[in-house]
Amino acid sequence: MAILGNSPNGTSDAPIAGIIGNSPAMQEVYRITRRVAGSNASVLVLGETGVGKELIAGAIHRLSHRSGGPFVRVNCGALSESLLESELFGHVRGAFTGAVANRAGRFEAAAGGTIFLDEINSTTLTLQVKLLRVLQEKEFERVGDTTTLSTDVRIIAASNRDLMNEVHEERFREDLYWRLNVVPIEIPPLRRRREDIPALVSFFLEYYNEINDRYVVHIAPGTLEALQDYHWPGNVRELQNYIERSVVMAETDELTPSLLPLCVTNNEVPVGVERSSGDIDSLTRDVVMRGIGEANLEEGGVHSLVVERVEKELISQVLTVCGGVQTKAAVMLGINRNTLHKKIKDYGLDDSDS
């Protein structure tokens, strides 16, 4: 589903058709997108799951001189290595069991246009070598064939992981990283552009009203506040899901807090979802305000109470982000592992390690 927006003034940081949001963080995304679109440079789109990386890739294609050519999407994380190689490069008859005829791959299908490689971090090192060749030499062979084919395709890749960290962990080739990372575009998570939430809610309400023949056109007091206070681990995709659910379940013409999941109205992490490290700053601010509210100001108890609350909550969330591994958590927190172990015991936190 395209999320349509308007470009009222034609400036480089104005919203791009297909994307909603006019926050400062998104204005920077628009500026870079427009700037890079007119080139042939490879682009690496970075961001958490659900932020809209494919929308940005599509915008780059539409704004480029390749807009008359195809825009081909490939989810690299959805296929095994052998299937992905065949999907990308094609195969010849008899190349493997089931290959009953010659088949062109996505690079051939994208000739003269753009290919979008989503979840590029999930590719194997072997396949990364072949992708590097396409980037450098503009050529490849179909699986099972020795005939070299040339390609005229612009490559846009996306990842929801830190690729440099993947390089350090030897899961991603450094040479491929630098070939892809000519122009990086980092899309901010929804929690860092909360001012865009009202416009997104309005769009999703209109869209789901239309396709479900509903008329939920009013927003009750407190609803937007709850949506803007929530940390959105699933980003825009999660917001879209909740608005669709609310439209379907509403018995009146009003979007109310009662239609939203408890994780939103209570500002909690949904079951089975971990907070990312990016949530920790906003979480800490929340804990500070709760501590100030509960401390006895006349007795000067604010400082110690807030410090204890922040430290306990911060350690708990860092341990979650690090999968309970205290060594990694200590590094992230910048403290000695023994110190961390003692604080875990003092605060009654789970002290399991691996």
For residues 240 and 282, membership in a common domain is answered with no
Examine residue 33 and state whether it is found in any structural domain, yes or no.
yes
Q: Where residue 125 sits, what CATH number does that domain have?
A: 3.40.50.300
In whole angstroms, give the CA distance from residue 94 to residue 252.
60
Examine residue 16 and state whether it is found in any structural domain, yes or no.
no
For residues 95 and 152, membership in a common domain is answered with yes
Give the mean pLDDT of 98-106: 86
Higher per-residue pLDDT: 11 or 187: 187
Last residue of a domain, one of 214, 230, 265: 265
Lowest mean pLDDT among 150-159, 166-175, 262-271: 262-271
Give the mean pLDDT of 290-308: 54
For residues 148 and 232, membership in a common domain is answered with no
Examine residue 258 and state whether it is found in any structural domain, yes or no.
yes
Which residues 6+ apart lie within 8 Å of 137 measured at CB? Answer: none
336-350 pLDDT tens trace:
777 888 888 888 886
**Domain range spanning residue 248?**
191-265
Whether residue 7 has pLDDT greater than 70: no
In whole angstroms, give the CA distance from residue 53 to residue 312.
34
Which residues 6+ apart lie within 8 Å of 83 measured at CB? Answer: none
For residues 47 and 178, membership in a common domain is answered with yes
Examine residue 325 and state whether it is found in any structural domain, yes or no.
yes
For residues 198 and 310, membership in a common domain is answered with no
For residues 90 and 221, membership in a common domain is answered with no
Number of domains in the chain: 3
183-235 pLDDT tens trace:
999 999 999 999 999 999 999 999 999 999 999 999 999 999 999 999 999 99
Q: Which of 183, 155, 168 is nearest to 76 (CA)?
A: 155
For residues 143 and 218, membership in a common domain is answered with no
What does each C-alpha distance from 242 to 135, 139, 205, 247, 253 come to in angstroms? 40, 44, 10, 9, 16
pLDDT computed for residue 315 by the predictor: 84
Examine residue 171 and state whether it is found in any structural domain, yes or no.
yes
Examine residue 176 and state whether it is found in any structural domain, yes or no.
yes
13-43 pLDDT tens trace:
788 988 999 999 999 999 999 999 999 999 9
Rg, Å, the chain Cα set: 24
